[in-house]
Structure 1
Amino acid sequence: MTTVTTDPTYGSRGNWFARTESWMDARGKGAWIAAMVLGFIFFWPVGLALLAYMIWSKRMFTSKSCARKSSRVMMSRSTGNSAFDAYKADTLRRLEEEQGNFEAFLERLREAKDKAEFDQFMNDRAKQDDTPTSA
C-alpha cells in the first residue's frame, strides 16, 4: 500500500520525491552538491536537472533547511534561567511573526507589480487595436 505525503510543503509531488528531498535536506547543502556532481559524472542531464532545481528552489544560495532546524533547536533548548527563557521565547515568536508579515508584504508587492504590468500590457494592446492601419 502506498501512502501519500499530506505535508503542504511538498504539494502534489510524489511521495518518493518528498522523501528524497527531505533526506537530502537533512544532510545539508553538501549532499545536494555531491548529488549534482555525481549526476554530471554518470549522466549529465541528471546533474543539469539537479543544478536547475537547486537554483530554482534557492538551495544554492540559502541554507533554509539548516536555519529552520537550528532555530527549532535553539527554541527548545533551556538555559535554566526561566526569565531569560521566557524573553527568548517571546522574542523568537515576535521575530517569526514579523518574518511572516514581511513575507506576506513581499507577496502582495509582487502581486501588485504583476497586476500593474498586466494592466499596462492590456492598455498598450487596446491602444494598438484602436489605431487605424493604413493600407
Structure 2
Amino acid sequence: MTTLTSNTVYRARPGWLARAEGWLDDKGKGAWIAAMILGFVVFWPIGLALLAYMIWSNRMFSSKSCARRSPRFAAPSRSTGNAAFDAYKEDTLRRLEEEQHNFEAFLKRLREAKDKAEFDQFMDERAKRSDADAEA
C-alpha cells in the first residue's frame, strides 16, 4: 500500500475573472467604466453587476483611480550602489518634478486667461445688446 504525501503547495492559477480584474485595474477607472457600459449594452444585468461591484469594491468613488495603481513618479528608495548615478537620478527626478509643476502652473494660468477672455467677451456682447435695446 502506498501513501501519497506531498509537501508541495498547489497554487491555483488565477481564473479569468481575476485576470480580467487585474487587467482593468492596470488600465484605470476609465476601463472599468467602459466595461460597465459595454455590459449594459450587451445584457443589462452584466452592466448592473459591474456597477455594483465597482461601488462595493470602492473602485468608483476612491480618490485613486484603482487600488493597485502606482503613482506616476514613484522613485525607488533603494540605492544602486553607484553614488554618481544615484546623484544623477535624484537630480533628474527633481528636475522632472519641477518641470511638471511649472507646466501644471502654466496650464492653470492659460485656463484662467481663457476664462477671463470668454467672460470679457460675454460682458462686451451683453453691453452691446443692452445699448441696442436702450436705443430702440
- Coarse TM-score class (shorter-chain normalised): 0.5 to 0.7
Q: Is the CA contact 1:79–1:85 (under 8 Å) kept in the aligned structure 2? A: yes
Q: Counterparts of 1:117 and 1:35 in 2: how far apart (Å)?
A: 33
Q: Which amino acid aligns with 2:130?
A: D
Matched position secondary structure for 1:28: helix
Change (3 A) 1:125 1:30: closer
Task: Determine the structure 1 residue equivalent to 2:107.
Answer: 106
Q: Which amino acid aligns with 2:31?
A: I
How many corresponding residue pairs? 93
Q: Counterparts of 1:45 and 1:115 in 2: how far apart (Å)?
A: 42
Matched position secondary structure for 2:101: helix
Change (3 A) 1:84 1:110: same
Change (3 A) 1:109 1:46: farther
Q: Which amino acid aligns with 1:29?
A: K
Matches within 5 A, 1:27-38: 27-29=25-27, 33-34=31-32, 36-38=34-36
Matches within 5 A, 1:11-50: 27-29=25-27, 33-34=31-32, 36-38=34-36, 40=40, 41=43, 42=45, 44=47
By how many angstroms is 1:75 displaced?
Answer: 3.8
Q: Which runs of 5+ in 2 are unaligned?
A: 1-21, 55-59
By how many angstroms is 1:29 displaced?
Answer: 1.2
Q: Counterparts of 1:97 and 1:105 in 2: how far apart (Å)?
A: 12
The higher relative CO (CA closer than 8 Å, separation ≥ 6) is in 2
Task: Determine the structure 2 residue equivalent to 1:116.
Answer: 117
TM-score (ref. length: structure 1): 0.53
What is the CA deviation profile of residues 74-126 of structure 1, one whole-angstrom value per residue up to 9, with x for unaligned ones? 44242210111011101100110111011101100110010011001101110
In terms of fraction of residues, the more helix-rich structure is 1
Q: CA RMSD in A?
A: 3.5
Change (3 A) 1:97 1:30: closer
Q: Moved runs in structure 1, 4+ residues, more than 6 A?
A: 45-48
Task: Determine the structure 1 residue equivalent to 2:18.
Answer: none
Q: Which runs of 5+ in 1 are unaligned?
A: 1-23, 60-64
What is the CA deviation profile of residues 9-58 of structure 1, one whole-angstrom value per residue up to 9, with x for unaligned ones? xxxxxxxxxxxxxxx9x93216753564255342657879x8xxx9xxxx
Percent identity over the alignment is: 58
TM-score (ref. length: structure 2): 0.53
Q: Is the CA contact 1:36–1:46 (under 8 Å) kept in the aligned structure 2? A: no
